[in-house]
Amino acid sequence: MEGLGLLAHSLLGLLGPWQVTYALGATLVGIVIGILPGLSATLGIALMTTLTVKMTPTDAILVLVCVYVGAIYGGSRTGILLNIPGTAANAAATLDGHQLAKQGLAGRAMGIATTGSVAGSLFGVLCLATLTPLLAEAALKFQAYEFFWLALLGVLMSGSLTGNDPLKGWLMGFLGLLTAQIGLDGIHAHERFTFGSSDLTGGIGLIPALVGAFGFAEILMVMSEPAKQAMINTVDSVLPRIGDVLKYWKTILRSGAIGKGSIEGMMAAETGDNAAIPGAIIPALALAVPGSAPAAVLMAAMIIHGVQPGPMLMVNQPQFVYDVVAITLIATLCMLVFGLVMVRPLMWVLRVPRAIIMPVVFVLCTLGAYAIASRVFDIWVMLCVGVVCFMLRRQGFPVAPFVLGIVLGDIIDKSLRRGLVLSDGDPTPFFTRPIAGVLAAAAILTVLAQVPAVRRIFARIT
């Protein structure tokens, strides 16, 4: 009951005229970012973080979550119409969605996308409201041993699940963890890998690194390929009228019938895409271990605004957790509004040639990297990270584990050393404490499961 009261209080606080304006504007920006191939939800949140520095924490997170939800939803549009997923999350929905569009059923596909996205988000919001406090309560029992394995497992899982090659994903995760070690260490304030540079003493800023990894690297990826002809013409040929989407949405609401075959597949993919948003925010809030790259930026933004995610958040600022629940709910409603009434206008953005969009985005990236700390050094960080990530991406190294590594590097470093100090150098508590043992086994199995010989043994057993 106390939770419901806090949620009601959060919702009332977010219904002011400015908050509604922020929510609608940010969701629209997010959808446009998602629609544009090459711009990711992570980049959108990173850029908006720099714009929301002067806002109150709740308003800033409202803007960022709306951008997140909008971008993931918007990506389905280009996936359906052009067979190019706007964000990586929409790749699965693209398979069935574009086939439907080619059969003249783009309106139906978009109706499914909207339904699935809203249903997934609402279920995710329910989980966010119920699971976050439970997880945070359980996490209060965590010590350094558990946090070490949890964070390491996050990096390893991200390496396994993003990209096509887990080995490359893990290496990128380790590179991210290493990057986080640059600067003063978190226990003794000793300089590490600074090479006498006072700029490096402050460490590598998360936002400049993110903007480089997801912005500059992406710009280089997009600009390195010649523009595809007739992309825009395709939009017009398959674009539905607003009525088509509304009609199909009403049909779904009335009958509950979703369809057969690929329609179910698309529904499942879109529901999963958007349910994953609160799913990624839950561990970020409760454990300070983000579940995705955009959630990692969101967590960084919370820290910039003086909110420290983790198990103590439910103790110190329980209202903020329910603010995030209410924000995600509002973002979902904004997404529904735009999904129903702005089908055609939203796709006009694809008429703008990418040769115009990308230089403008790069100026925003440069300013975004600079704006947080007003340091020209951060622009160089963005450039260096961008070039390195671009080169590595061309060889199949995924960027998301690198980003998670940067976010989790400090937790892993402090947890490892604190754990060893507590046990006086004895590593056994890392494996013998019940939860730590389970997490350690999961981390080790995550790696072993990719070894061909071990996979063969697993296959034989099962």
Partner 1 sequence: MRPDRLFGAGWFALGAAVLVASWRMDRLEGLHINPWSVPGLLPGLLGALMMFFGAALFLRAPAPDGAETSSAVPSGRIWLALALCVGYAGGLIGHELPFWLTSAAFMFVAIVAFRWLDRDAEAPAGLGRLALESAAIALSASVAISLLFQEVFLVRLP
State yes or no: residue 349 binds partner 1 (CB under 8 A). Answer: no
x/- string (CB under 8 A) for partner 1, residues 148-167? ----------------xx-x
Q: Given candidates 362, 402, 439, 446, which one binds partner 1 under the rule CB under 8 A?
A: 362
Q: Which long-range contacts (CB under 8 A, 24 or more apart) does 92-101 make?
A: 92/265, 92/269, 92/272, 92/273, 93/266, 93/269, 93/270, 93/273, 95/262, 95/265, 95/266, 95/269, 96/262, 96/263, 96/265, 96/266, 96/269, 97/266, 99/262, 100/262, 100/263, 100/266, 101/238
State yes or no: residue 50 binds partner 1 (CB under 8 A). Answer: yes
Give least dist CB 168 to partner 1, A: 7
SS3 category, 195: coil
Task: Kindly state the tokens that stand for 357.
Answer: 């969009």
Q: Can you say whether the dihedral through the CA atoms of 285, 287, 291, 297 is positive or negative?
A: positive
SS3 category, 164: coil
Give least dist CB 374 to partner 1, A: 6
Residue 55 to residue 353: CA distance in whole angstroms: 33
Burial class (CB in 10 A: 0-12, 13-18, 19+), 27: buried
Cα-based distances in Å from 260 to 97, 107, 274, 437: 13, 16, 21, 44
Give least dist CB 300 to partner 1, A: 18
Give least dist CB 363 to partner 1, A: 5
Nearer to partner 1, 181 or 251 (CB): 181
Neighbours of 143 (CB within 10 A): 15
Cα-based distances in Å from 20 to 17, 24, 165, 277, 324: 5, 6, 43, 21, 15
SS3 category, 3: helix
State yes or no: residue 218 binds partner 1 (CB under 8 A). Answer: no
Residue 276 to residue 440: CA distance in whole angstroms: 24
Residue 298 to residue 443: CA distance in whole angstroms: 25
x/- string (CB under 8 A) for partner 1, residues 188-207? x-x-xx--------------
State yes or no: residue 227 binds partner 1 (CB under 8 A). Answer: yes
What pairing do the DSSP bridges indicate for beta strands 183-184 and 191-192?
A: antiparallel
Q: Given candidates 126, 364, 444, 448, which one binds partner 1 under the rule CB under 8 A?
A: 364
Give least dist CB 123 to partner 1, A: 35
- 349 CA to centre of own chain: 23
Q: Given candidates 300, 358, 399, 407, which one binds partner 1 under the rule CB under 8 A?
A: 358
Q: Given candidates 138, 197, 396, 438, which one binds partner 1 under the rule CB under 8 A?
A: 396
State yes or no: residue 436 binds partner 1 (CB under 8 A). Answer: no
Q: Which helix (H) or strand (E) holds 184?
A: strand 183-184
Q: Given candidates 77, 168, 305, 433, which one binds partner 1 under the rule CB under 8 A?
A: 168
Give least dist CB 117 to partner 1, A: 29
x/- string (CB under 8 A) for partner 1, residues 130-149? --------------------
The interface with partner 1 within residues 300-329 (CB under 8 A) comprises: none
Q: Which helix (H) or strand (E) holds 191?
A: strand 191-192
State yes or no: residue 428 binds partner 1 (CB under 8 A). Answer: no
State yes or no: residue 455 binds partner 1 (CB under 8 A). Answer: no
Residue 34 to residue 37: CA distance in whole angstroms: 7
Q: Given candidates 12, 315, 363, 438, which one binds partner 1 under the rule CB under 8 A?
A: 363
DSSP collapsed to 3 states, 104-123 = CCHHHHHHHHHHHHHHHHHH
Nearer to partner 1, 213 or 371 (CB): 371
The interface with partner 1 within residues 401-420 (CB under 8 A) comprises: 412-413, 416-418, 420
Main-chain phi, psi angles of 192, to 5 degrees: -125, 130
Nearer to partner 1, 367 or 435 (CB): 367
Q: Given candidates 268, 304, 387, 444, which one binds partner 1 under the rule CB under 8 A?
A: 387
Q: Given candidates 303, 315, 355, 454, which one binds partner 1 under the rule CB under 8 A?
A: 355
Q: Given candidates 228, 241, 250, 456, which one binds partner 1 under the rule CB under 8 A?
A: 228
Nearer to partner 1, 360 or 438 (CB): 360
Only one residue has tokens 């603010």, namely 323
Q: Given candidates 175, 213, 252, 307, which one binds partner 1 under the rule CB under 8 A?
A: 175
Task: Kindly state the tokens that stand for 39.
Answer: 């711009």
Nearer to partner 1, 33 or 175 (CB): 175
Contact residues toward partner 1 (CB under 8 A) are 50-51, 53-54, 164-165, 167-168, 170-171, 174-175, 177-178, 181, 185, 187-188, 190, 192-193, 216, 219-220, 223-231, 353-356, 358-360, 362-364, 366-367, 370-371, 374, 376, 379-380, 382-383, 387, 392, 394-397, 412-413, 416-418, 420-421, 424-425
